[in-house]
Structure 1
Amino acid sequence: MKKKIAFATCVQLGLSCIQEIYRIGGNLDLLITLKDEKAKKKSGRIYLDDIATEHSAPLLKIDNINDQEVLNALKENQIDWLFIIGWSQIAKKEVLEAPTYGCIGMHPTLLPVGRGRAAIPWAIIKGLKETGVTMFKLDEGVDTGDIIGQGVINLDENTTATELYRKVDDMHITLISKYWDNIVNNNIILTKQNESEATEWPGRKPADGEIFSSMTMDEADKLVRAVTHPYPGAFYNNGDGTHRIWSAEINKDEGKIKLRDGYLIPIDYEIEG
């Protein structure tokens, strides 16, 4: 018997997964998203009204994933699995246990490396050669649940957040397509994460995008690439205002912004204030 599936998201990564589920002939029995006025400035924020209407799927708009109305809807619709993807709020035990078999999430690193926040910027700032996306069963920890599957994404010294976000989006689609039948037929194999290899990455704020003259060319270059669109951008403050930098080059001998071992040359930028 096919399982009844619900999907909670408010960002493009989740919408891409929903679109892929319908593209491969799957069905969703309940869609959950944030109320329209909430998280308007969240990177990649989307709305599910159109796709819910197109596929005649019930759509529940909420304040918090842990609200009683979520629990009620999961029980009333007899949901077997709930996907929670691109969702900042941590689902509590009651929500995780409300679907028959539990909840499934995705995280844009190769877990157990890079648990936590800001996975796309950190992968670039840390100069990783590869990252990826992990599909896993949610538990009460942060990104600690058993792994269903992973896909690897390669990075190089020119990779930007814009490019990596698109590759992460594509990998979400790939993993959904690969494991959908196993999920609906309750045929998934779970693999425990290796705690000895686990690392945690902290959240980032727009203020963390500031470029300082004490930085090396390598550090400044990575920061610009890491926080460009869809993130708030790197910035540099000088006498004539804040330079919001979306792309830049580095040069050892000359340029606009003096760094510890050379210069940063903004290419795509705006001057604010």
Structure 2
Amino acid sequence: MRVVFMGTPEFAVPSLQALLDNGVQVVGVVTQPDRPVGRKRILTPTPVKVEAEKHGIPVLQPERLRRPESVEELKELQPDLIVTAAYGQILPKSVLELPKHGCINIHASLLPKYRGGAPIHHAVMNGDAVTGVTIMYMAEGLDTGDMISKVEVSIEDTDTQGTMFEKLSIAGARLLTETLPDLIAGRIQAVPQNDAEAIYSPNITREQELIDWNRSALAIWNQVRGLSPRPGAYTLWNGEVLKIWSCLKPDAALNPSSANTSQPGTVLGMGENGIVVATGSGTITITELQPAGKKAMDAAQWTRGGQLSIGTVLGSAEQ
């Protein structure tokens, strides 16, 4: 079977490796174009491209996959099956119809929950205890295709978007390895999704990154870890962005009752555990942060420089 793999970030690399480790004939890889990265804007290949080149696999990097010339390039590879994982572009009908065994996608959620581009962020931000990976046939809709196989993955208190990204990428590669033999042998009995149960997880907006201190301490804790290590939750301090990278789980925070008479966002205390802040319900302790123009640092260490005082209201226009 001639397989074309489509993927872009680190999430997709274990799945490409799984195909190669199982002797699958990967005749080509399609990934996003090289992009400028960092302050110096260095043109950088995608992780999937780097992995493909290690194995001498031809790489296509169309700016727009739906362009006729891009479809023709793909057609020349004569794929029997297309496997995608976090590719980053919607496959047009002309591509979906190319391989005789169809196109399958490794999606980082338990469909139909969290269709869309940011399923891992939303699962953690919503405080879910379990998420997973679904392998499905691709259709013209957004993650609407029939489901082939699933695996559940727990979200622990210590998990962030970053740790779940890694756990789900490995789980997806294992599920692909388990699913391929039945797919190649024609033993798959795909299950349609129940559209009535669909939940969407669009890409994270700047508004979702801003901490609303009127929310509960638990909701803010989930928001912070769901946005770590990228793009990061933030509040305002002295009119500048203050990134919040980690907090203690609220039931472990200091002075849980003192927020009842304080404006949400008020700094209630500073100590070795971090910065205690009032929320709309309970308090939360910030343990790692990043002031504008500086590197991430321990919150307690930052307060020793005298930059912050008790009574300061984070997120306020005047502080």
Structure 1 portions without partners, runs of 5+: none
**Counterparts of 1:102 and 1:39, CA distance in 2:** 34
What's the counterpart of residue 130 of structure 1? Answer: 130
- 1:268 and 2:284 are equivalent in the alignment: no
For 1:113 and 1:236, locate their aligned partners in 2 and report how far apart those are by CA, in whole Å: 29
Alignment pair present for 1:113 and 2:113:
yes
For residues 211 and 192 of structure 1, do their structure 2 counterparts lie closer, same or farther at Cα, with a shift above 3 Å needed? same
Alpha-carbon distance, 1:159 to partner: 2.8
1:241 corresponds in structure 2 to 240
1:118 is displaced (CA, Å) by 1.5
Q: Which moved more, 1:45-54 or 1:236-245?
A: 45-54
Matched-pair contact (CA < 8 Å) for 1:71–1:98: no
- 1:139 and 1:181 map into 2 onto residues whose CA distance is 22
Structure 2 counterpart of 1:18: 16
Compare 202-211 and 104-113 and name the one that shifted more.
202-211
Aligned counterpart, 1:227:
227
Deviation (angstroms), 1:193: 1.3
The SS at the match of 1:172 is: helix
- Kindly state the Cα deviation for residue 32 of structure 1 after the two structures are TM-superposed: 0.9
- Percent identity of paired positions between Structure 1 and Structure 2: 25
Describe the superposition over 1:71-116 as per-residue Cα deviations: whole angstroms up to 9, x where unpaired: 2133222111111220222111111112222211121111111212
Q: Is the 8 A contact 1:6 1:82 kept in 2?
A: yes
Q: Is the 8 A contact 2:31 2:46 kept in 1?
A: no
- Cα RMSD of the aligned pairs, angstroms, is 2.2
Contact 2:213 2:220 in 1 (8 A): no
Largest Rg, 1 or 2: 2
* Aligned ranges 1:1-273 → 2 under 5 Å: 3-37=1-35, 46-229=46-229, 231-239=230-238, 241-249=240-248, 250=250, 251=253, 252=256, 253=258, 254-255=268-269, 256=275, 257-272=277-292
- How far does residue 144 in structure 1 lie from its aligned partner after superposition? 0.7
Rounded Cα–Cα distance in structure 1 between residues aligned with 2:116 and 2:225? 20
Cα deviation, residue 37, structure 1: 2.6
SS at match of 2:132: strand
The normalised TM-score by structure 2 is 0.77
CA distance in 1, matches of 2:90, 2:172: 20
Q: Distance in 1 between matches of 2:136 and 2:54?
A: 28
* Deviation per residue, 1:178-234 (Å, 9 max, x gap): 1122333444321111233222233312441111221211111111111001x1111
Which stretch of the first structure deviates more once superposed, 10-19 or 46-55? 46-55
Amino acid at match of 2:31: T
Does the residue aligned with 1:200 lie in a helix, a strand or coil? coil
Aligned residues: 267
Q: Tell me if structure 2 keeps the 8 A contact 1:33–1:47.
A: no
What one-letter code is carried by the residue in structure 2 that aligns with 1:194? Answer: N
Name the SS of the counterpart of 1:71 in structure 2: helix
Alignment partners' CA distance in 2, 1:4 and 1:153: 30
Residue 18 of structure 1 aligns with an amino acid whose one-letter code is L
Alpha-carbon separation, structure 2, partners of 1:201 and 1:145:
16
Deviation at 1:160, TM superposition (A): 1.6
Q: Tell me the SS of whatever aligns to 1:221.
A: helix
**1:28 aligned counterpart, secondary structure:** strand
Contiguous gaps of at least 5 residues in structure 2 = 259-267, 270-274, 294-319
Please state how far the C-alpha of 1:38 moved relative to its aligned partner.
Answer: 7.1
| Other structure's SS at 1:235 match | strand
Deviation at 1:48, TM superposition (A): 3.7
